[in-house]
Structure 1
Amino acid sequence: MEATDSDCTVPVIHIDPTLCTGCRRCAGVCPVDAIEGLPGEPQTVNADRCVFCGQCVQICSVYASDWADASPQEAAIRRQARMRERDMPADIGEPLFAAYYSYSLNKVTDMMTKPGQLRIVQCAPSIRVSLAEEFGMPFGTLTPGKMAAALRRLGFDRVYDTNFGADVTIMEEGTELIRRVTEGGPLPMFTSCCPAWVRFAEIEYPDLLDHLSSCKSPMQILGALVKTYGAQLDEVKPANIYSVAIMPCTCKQFECDRPEMESDGYRDVDEVLTTRELAYWIKQRGIDFMNLPDEEFDSPLGKYSGAGTIFGVTGGVMEAAIRTGYELLTNEKLPKLQLDFVRGEEGIRVAEVQVGELQLKVAVVAGLQHAYQLLDRVQAGECDYHFIEVMGCPAGCISGGGQPKLMLEKQKIEAYRARKSSIYGHDAASQVRKSHENPFIIKLYDEFLGEPLGHVSHHLLHTTFHKRGPGRQSRNSDVSTNGNNDYSLH
């Protein structure tokens, strides 16, 4: 089945031609060559190729001046006009950069005033290690408790955690992988958590879509559970739930708007805000973030394992899957939970992992520009991996296009390193570090879902993907990796 972008939403990444100087720094970081234009001239975004990852937004350093040719009053009028064009809240004080993404904050704040609804929010794992930077705290400061407290003060009735959705993803995706390996199915199986990666596959490699896991992303999984399982627990109709997700990713609104992302006629998630938009909102409301008390996420959809936490970094999905898959396949305890061989930086990492009698071949891809190499080999029938994780952004979700904007390369390196360290520290400090041992996950399956890949979960938590382009011609290329080793977990 072929879909078009009009089936989902308008493009979310834009370049202002009145501001763009044609430096082409954005083109240099675009993984799919979607930035078009001559050097020194305004650039444009090819919406048919763009995967909405937002890396161009992160790197853009060209911004509107103070309009020195105008009076202060006229300059303010011009600025406000441009902010209205971008649907930005009127009191945001940051510079207006040439590359930007569509904002949803005004829509959310308007909806929050609607009476008679249960207002629910979920937060991605990487938000808790980046949000504090917007309030002057050091890179990587871990603030899940302050974040939960701030969201309650913004008016949400339930504060849930996408990490819970990540734990469910492992149960579903891990079971799917085991079935494909033991019973037959398209291999290698690719993760489907990253919407930019999914869109990339739909555009560039539509013939390989059956290799993707059929799981929705953790955000969409939790959204579906909020309006079914959660609605039952709260004794409220799904129609009366307004569900918002806080994400590090500029592609998540596109994912949220996909027609197939609904259950029983209700959208899984109603709206998505980025990390930066949440920070704007907190400041707009005058909330003293730094001095907020730590508060807990709501139960049960806010209780998560360390495995759910590490979804925010490259290699995290793979590590979480191995922690659970190993024990489901072998019925033995995994002797070591910290799996360093899947942790790393941008690029491709590969390994062979002994899981009982199975020599599991895995790969981790960080940055979509590196995915071509593996996908060309899959097309050619030359790729013998079982499981491949792909994240669109260079360090995973901690480097998403909606994260705090960092102007200097040195800052990016420091921030990514600190955020990653903080996420792994959060995992290490967790009492439960495997998705299948999360007691609230066990309860969810006992009370509601039944079993992974069962009838209920298949209906709510799995989806289909669609061809969005003609694909690219397969080319033979060698995989350049930064690690190719055998590992035994014993």
Structure 2
Amino acid sequence: MVNITIDGKQISVRENTTIMEAAAQNGIQIPKLCFLKDINEIAACRVCVVEMEGNDRLITSCNNTVSEGMVLYTNSPKVRKHRKTTVELILAQHDRQCVTCVRNGNCSLQKIARDLNIISIPYKCDVEYREWNKDFPLIRDSAKCIKCMRCIQVCDKVQSLGVWDVEGTGSRTTVNVSKLRKIEEADCSLCGQCITHCPVGALRERDDTDKVWAAIDDPEKIVVAQVAPAVRTAWGEELGLSPKEATVGKILDSLKKIGVDYAFDTTFSADLTIMEEGTEFVSRFTSGELKERPMFTSCCPGWIRFIKTQFPHLVRYLSSAKSPQQMFGAVMKTYFAEKLGVSPDRIYTVSVMPCVAKKGEREMELYYGEYAGHDIDAVLTTRELARMIRMAYIKPESLEDIESDRPMQAGTGAGVIFGATGGVMEAALRSAYYLIKGVNPPADAFVNVRSQGFNENDGVQEAEFKIDDITVRTAVVSGLGNTRNLLKKIERGEVSYDFVEVMACPGGCVGGGGQPIHDGEELAFERGKKLYALDESCELRFSHENPDILSLYDEYFEKPNSHKAHMLLHTEHVVNR
């Protein structure tokens, strides 16, 4: 233990503790802008400085550790003056149009400026404006960038893609797409982790709310919306609802109040995905096709973008099953359109997703019969849904818990856990067991695939299961940096599996780039626990027992992996380079 004094308070903390951590442990707040624990500890912003007795220069608290006898001041006149000047200088290079910023009210710079009572800027303003393709799903506003380097570090250290980098020197130093590329030329997975880790509004998703409002207002369009499992774990955070209050039924009610014609829970199409993917796995496994390489899940579009650019030779081992989002759209524009007796062109499909990559995935084309178009017409993130609720002046407390529309109403616990890392694997194994043995396993037989935390086992959860004389070796991984390491181990022959689930975002969809932003907090695994709790309370916990799924096969698809199912529910993964 090390004995120090902070603001006149004598405290003891463990050695190697940073000054910032020592202060926080004792209820003393030190402001920060760039700091991210274990990711960005470079003291770029200089906002966290403190005064140390016997030292003429202020020191940064985020990356300096305590030493015996230190006497520190976190709020001295010298500290306050330096801190205020630093933030004023940052603001002098920042587009201060807060009212029209997507992060208005949830911005670390805005909060610090308010805390420091900055009401005018005494310096000449020099803001950097750069062009950006506003059609790309990820938008960067250079005028709002504060050069904190968080996006660079998250992309490098967590996702291993190196999309962002520093360019220029001296006062011209800035952040941009690496290697002087345009964003379309970079290997961006659209995971959106740079967005959720940006402390300001320099990075955001492309806003598609106007497209959805236009479809709602079009009398010729029948607007059909779906809500992904992970959304229910977080949407209430944006609107002040407790987890108990923020049910999926209230999301469906909000969509109806906004004006959509039909609202569905994506757990239905998650169950449909399991039927297709689980059947495909059993077929490929029993045929011996997976002896050299495992079958990889295909639900996560961020992962699909990653494998196509980083490991294109492994693309053929992906499941051919579309994601739940795309399966939903395909069913809406065929089966559901026929049920309604309308042309598929009149169906406008909207997805509410925790994900930015889903905006890219919607570009997949659908050709069936005489119809040529897209499975999905618009994708909204969880944040965009909250914006639309506010735009419609819907009081969150007025929302009611309603059921999903028919005929695709039922969902199972297996579909619910899709949003957490390991959920797709667990759901698939539940049904794969049934397909092999003809009886259900215990619903919790495969809980060993669940990850306990992002940093445990390098983000990889391995498990092995025996079904009679068959052994199935599985791995679950989240985070693209962890994924890269795992794929390299597979290629070197260090590990061998039959089935691998990959989620681009740490913790899975619950930690997606479209979820509510809480600066400095990682909530994915806490959100994931909510999905597992919902699964435990579900009356049905196996996808193959979903009565509406069974009816869909009886009436339309005949059986999983049938010719018709392959035409509509599967895809060919094409590498474009």
- Length-normalised TM-score, structure 2: 0.71
* Residue aligning to 2:163: 34
SS state at 1:112 partner: helix
Which of 470, 488, 499 matches 1:358?
A: 470
* Equivalent pair of 2:557/2:565 in contact (CA under 8 Å): yes
* Equivalent pair of 2:330/2:568 in contact (CA under 8 Å): yes
* Residue aligning to 2:346: 240
* Equivalent pair of 1:13/1:101 in contact (CA under 8 Å): yes
* Equivalent pair of 1:140/1:420 in contact (CA under 8 Å): no
Which of 514, 518, 533 matches 1:406?
A: 518
Deviations 1:95-136 (A, max 9, x none): xx1112211111111222111221100110011121111111
The letter of the residue matching 1:183 is: S
Which one has a bigger Cα radius of gyration?
2
* Equivalent pair of 1:15/1:43 in contact (CA under 8 Å): no
The letter of the residue matching 2:547 is: P
- Paired with 1:379 and 1:141, the residues of 2 have a C-alpha distance of 46
SS state at 1:460 partner: helix
1:128 lines up with 2:232 in the alignment = yes
1:427 lines up with 2:427 in the alignment = no
SS state at 2:223 partner: strand
- Paired with 1:140 and 1:18, the residues of 2 have a C-alpha distance of 39
Which of 38, 41, 56 matches 2:194?
A: 56
1:177 lines up with 2:285 in the alignment = no
- Paired with 1:207 and 1:354, the residues of 2 have a C-alpha distance of 30
Which of 13, 23, 28 matches 2:138?
A: 13
Deviations 1:63-113 (A, max 9, x none): xxxxxxxxxxxxxxxxxxxxxxxxxxxxxxxxxx11122111111112221
SS state at 2:568 partner: helix
1:192 lines up with 2:317 in the alignment = no
- Paired with 2:471 and 2:561, the residues of 1 have a C-alpha distance of 24
* Residue aligning to 1:316: 423
* Residue aligning to 1:416: 524
* Residue aligning to 2:175: 43
- Paired with 1:10 and 1:371, the residues of 2 have a C-alpha distance of 28
Structure 1 residues 436-445 or 45-54, which shifts more?
45-54
Q: Would the alpha carbon gap of residues 29 and 141 (structure 1) be closer, same or farther in structure 2, given more than 3 Å must change?
A: farther
- Paired with 1:100 and 1:425, the residues of 2 have a C-alpha distance of 31
* Residue aligning to 1:23: 148
- Paired with 1:336 and 1:440, the residues of 2 have a C-alpha distance of 20
* Residue aligning to 2:444: 337
C-alpha displacement at 1:433, in angstroms? 0.5
* Residue aligning to 1:101: 205
The letter of the residue matching 1:26 is: C
C-alpha displacement at 1:384, in angstroms? 2.2
* Equivalent pair of 1:206/1:468 in contact (CA under 8 Å): no
SS state at 1:257 partner: coil
Percent of paired sites with the same residue? 41
- Paired with 2:267 and 2:482, the residues of 1 have a C-alpha distance of 27
Alignment of 1:461-472 (within 5 A): 461-469=569-577
* Residue aligning to 1:451: 559
| Structure 1: unaligned runs, 5 residues or longer | 1-8, 63-96, 470-490
The letter of the residue matching 1:213 is: S
Alignment of 1:61-460 (within 5 A): 61-62=199-200, 97-138=201-242, 142-186=246-290, 187-258=293-364, 260-263=365-368, 264-337=371-444, 339-344=446-451, 345-346=453-454, 347-380=459-492, 383-409=495-521, 412=522, 415-460=523-568
- Paired with 2:345 and 2:443, the residues of 1 have a C-alpha distance of 45
* Equivalent pair of 2:335/2:556 in contact (CA under 8 Å): yes
* Equivalent pair of 1:224/1:262 in contact (CA under 8 Å): no
The letter of the residue matching 1:257 is: E
SS state at 1:314 partner: coil
- Paired with 2:177 and 2:385, the residues of 1 have a C-alpha distance of 26
* Equivalent pair of 1:141/1:422 in contact (CA under 8 Å): no
C-alpha displacement at 1:141, in angstroms? 5.4
- Paired with 2:361 and 2:207, the residues of 1 have a C-alpha distance of 15
- Paired with 2:223 and 2:209, the residues of 1 have a C-alpha distance of 15
* Residue aligning to 1:66: none
Structure 1 residues 40-49 or 444-453, which shifts more?
40-49
SS state at 2:142 partner: coil
Structure 1 residues 42-51 or 188-197, which shifts more?
42-51
C-alpha displacement at 1:417, in angstroms? 3.9
- Paired with 1:316 and 1:222, the residues of 2 have a C-alpha distance of 19
RMSD: 1.9
The letter of the residue matching 2:533 is: G
- Paired with 2:191 and 2:366, the residues of 1 have a C-alpha distance of 19
SS state at 2:302 partner: helix
Q: Which has the higher contact order (CA 8 A, sep 6+)?
A: 1
* Equivalent pair of 2:443/2:542 in contact (CA under 8 Å): no
* Equivalent pair of 1:11/1:52 in contact (CA under 8 Å): no
- Paired with 1:14 and 1:154, the residues of 2 have a C-alpha distance of 26
The letter of the residue matching 1:354 is: K
- Paired with 1:430 and 1:279, the residues of 2 have a C-alpha distance of 26
SS state at 2:143 partner: coil
* Equivalent pair of 1:306/1:434 in contact (CA under 8 Å): yes
* Equivalent pair of 2:409/2:548 in contact (CA under 8 Å): no
- Paired with 1:140 and 1:217, the residues of 2 have a C-alpha distance of 28
Q: Would the alpha carbon gap of residues 261 and 42 (structure 1) be closer, same or farther in structure 2, given more than 3 Å must change?
A: farther
- Paired with 2:520 and 2:574, the residues of 1 have a C-alpha distance of 38
* Equivalent pair of 1:306/1:433 in contact (CA under 8 Å): yes
* Equivalent pair of 1:142/1:422 in contact (CA under 8 Å): no
- Paired with 2:400 and 2:535, the residues of 1 have a C-alpha distance of 22
* Equivalent pair of 1:393/1:399 in contact (CA under 8 Å): yes
C-alpha displacement at 1:373, in angstroms? 1.9
- Paired with 1:368 and 1:121, the residues of 2 have a C-alpha distance of 29
* Equivalent pair of 2:476/2:501 in contact (CA under 8 Å): yes
Q: Would the alpha carbon gap of residues 226 and 319 (structure 1) be closer, same or farther in structure 2, given more than 3 Å must change?
A: same
SS state at 2:339 partner: helix
SS state at 1:405 partner: coil
User: How many aligned positions are there?
Assistant: 423
- Paired with 1:110 and 1:163, the residues of 2 have a C-alpha distance of 27
The letter of the residue matching 2:470 is: L
* Equivalent pair of 1:165/1:222 in contact (CA under 8 Å): yes
C-alpha displacement at 1:262, in angstroms? 4.9
Q: Would the alpha carbon gap of residues 140 and 34 (structure 1) be closer, same or farther in structure 2, given more than 3 Å must change?
A: farther
- Paired with 2:245 and 2:190, the residues of 1 have a C-alpha distance of 27
- Paired with 2:136 and 2:337, the residues of 1 have a C-alpha distance of 32
* Equivalent pair of 1:139/1:419 in contact (CA under 8 Å): no
* Equivalent pair of 1:133/1:140 in contact (CA under 8 Å): no
- Paired with 1:119 and 1:333, the residues of 2 have a C-alpha distance of 37
- Length-normalised TM-score, structure 1: 0.83
C-alpha displacement at 1:138, in angstroms? 3.4
Q: Would the alpha carbon gap of residues 139 and 146 (structure 1) be closer, same or farther in structure 2, given more than 3 Å must change?
A: closer
SS state at 2:204 partner: strand
